């Protein structure tokens, strides 16, 4: 009965490859997010979707492309991976895009070699 689930948990790949991370939430929330946490634990939002529509698109390289097939899913596809993309990527959801706290997934640790 995991609320926000991400797969895979670990992802090790070489530079130049393309990879995807999947996220699903079963909380019935309308808004989903992708956050990046770097090696210093700093968390930064990348994207936010509300009911399948993109509402926040931070200054992220266009190699990163989110896709939301329905409001329960938000996947992240990354093209031409670079060393600097190594980080932990967290998916999150919230009841709305305002007051409700975020519910985070367990994270995907991406290592680019």
Q: Which residues bind another protein (CB under 8 A)?
A: 40-45, 48, 55-56, 58, 90, 92, 97-107
**Least distance (Å) between residue 98 CB and another protein:** 6
Q: Which residue has the tokens 């997010």?
A: 33
How far apart (Å, rounded) are the C-alpha atoms in residues 50 and 104? 16
**Least distance (Å) between residue 109 CB and another protein:** 8
How far apart (Å, rounded) are the C-alpha atoms in residues 82 and 110? 11
Between 86 and 106, name the residue whose CB sits nearer to another protein.
106
Between 64 and 90, name the residue whose CB sits nearer to another protein.
90
CA angle 14, 77, 7 (to 5 degrees): 85
The answer to whether 110 and 86 are in contact (CB under 8 A) is: yes
Between 15 and 43, name the residue whose CB sits nearer to another protein.
43
Half-sphere exposure of 92 (CA within 13 A, CB side): 22
**Least distance (Å) between residue 41 CB and another protein:** 5
**Least distance (Å) between residue 89 CB and another protein:** 12
């Amino acid at each position: 009965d995991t609320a926000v689930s991400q797969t895979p948990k670990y992802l090790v790949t070489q530079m130049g490859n393309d990879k995807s991370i999947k996220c699903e939430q079963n909380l019935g929330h309308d808004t989903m997010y992708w956050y990046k946490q770097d090696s210093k634990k700093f968390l930064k939002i990348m994207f936010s979707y509300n009911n399948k529509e993109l509402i926040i698109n931070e200054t992220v390289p266009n190699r990163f492309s989110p896709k939301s097939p329905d409001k329960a899913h938000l996947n992240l596809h990354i093209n031409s991976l670079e060393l600097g993309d190594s980080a932990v990527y967290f998916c999150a959801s919230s009841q709305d895009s305002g007051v409700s706290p975020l519910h985070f997934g367990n994270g995907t640790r991406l290592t680019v070699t």
